[in-house]
Amino acid sequence: MSAQAGLRIATRKSKLALWQAEHVAALLRRAHPGLDIELVPITTLGDRIQDRSLAAIGGKGLFIKELEVAMHERRADIAVHSMKDVPAEVPDEFQIAAVLKRADARDALVAAGGIACLEDLPARARVGTSSLRRQAQLYAARPDLSIEALRGNVDTRLRRLDSGDLDAILLACAGLMRLGLESRITVRLDPEVCLPAVGQGVIGIECRDEDVRTRELLQPLEDHATRRVLEAERAFAERLGGSCQSPIAAHAQLHADQLSLAGLVAEPDGSRLLRGSIQGGAGQANSLGKQLAERLLAAGAADLLERLREV
């Protein structure tokens, strides 16, 4: 295939988003020597509004909508996303054409000096997070903590910790590792304590569904094992019909041809965690995600999520 026509990558302007876009560009150049690649940095609404929670302004989809507009208007050919920011339903015009091998999906506790684990935090310690999913599970593990809203890029969040404004913050391990900040991780939280977000640690590449050439260019980047686990997690979230106001978590793992999926729906205050797990063949990823969602809906998640939608 001739790769000389080039490829334009829409990306957010944050340091992490630019790292991810550059990483994808490097993989594409390796797969297609001579391919001309251009980054198209875009400031999204989610980036511009920093003084309100994501739940209040419309959810994580605000981080990708303007990237999709750029593709629709032919100003870009692909967009690079953290899959945890991508809503369960992708518009018909687009598709996630490739996913890279998953990085560490766990959440990281980043704490001030002298803290070695979650249990070490003193009573009423101030912990920053922008995620209702993390908030709910933190409260469930440590109801004595004082959880404070935390928005902004990774550097901004770390500055709030380093200034003494907070005693600890929660971030994704994958993001810290990609930015060369792995040394800031105090402890990686076991999924039994804090189940990750759907798609956490996965970089996805979106393109126009009709763009056959671009889809073919992206195929060497596809990691099939990651696609399977991501499919299960996203099917779980889609069946639940959750939103940014809904503390939903899921983590799938692949062992040979067997897939295991753990899922959770929680009260934001951590007073109630509905958990479940399921196992089956890797080829059943979508079905397993839906089955687990149905179990949790029947166990009370339906009423919980409906109540949260009305808030």
Active site amino acids: 85
Which residue(s) pair with 252 in the sheet? 261
3-state secondary structure 205-266: EEEECCCHHHHHHHHHHCCHHHHHHHHHHHHHHHHHCCCCCCCEEEEEEEECCEEEEEEEEE
Amino acid code (one letter) for 300 = G
CA separation, residue 249 to residues 111, 206, 240 (Å): 23, 23, 11
The SS3 of residue 267 is coil
Instruction: Specify the length of the chain in residues.
Output: 311
The CA-to-CA distance between both ends of the chain, in Å, stands at 52
Strands (E), the chain: 7-12, 37-42, 78-82, 94-99, 107-111, 126-129, 146-149, 168-172, 187-188, 203-208, 248-255, 258-266, 273-281
Q: Counting Cβ atoms within 10 Å, is residue 53 exposed (0-12), middle (13-18) or buried (19+)?
A: middle
**Centroid of chain to Cα 162:** 25
Q: How many CA atoms lie within 13 A of 302 on its CB side?
A: 7
User: What gap in Å lies between CA 256 and CA 259, rounded to an integer?
Assistant: 8
Q: Residue for token digits 């790769």?
A: 3
User: What gap in Å lies between CA 247 and CA 232, rounded to an integer?
Assistant: 18
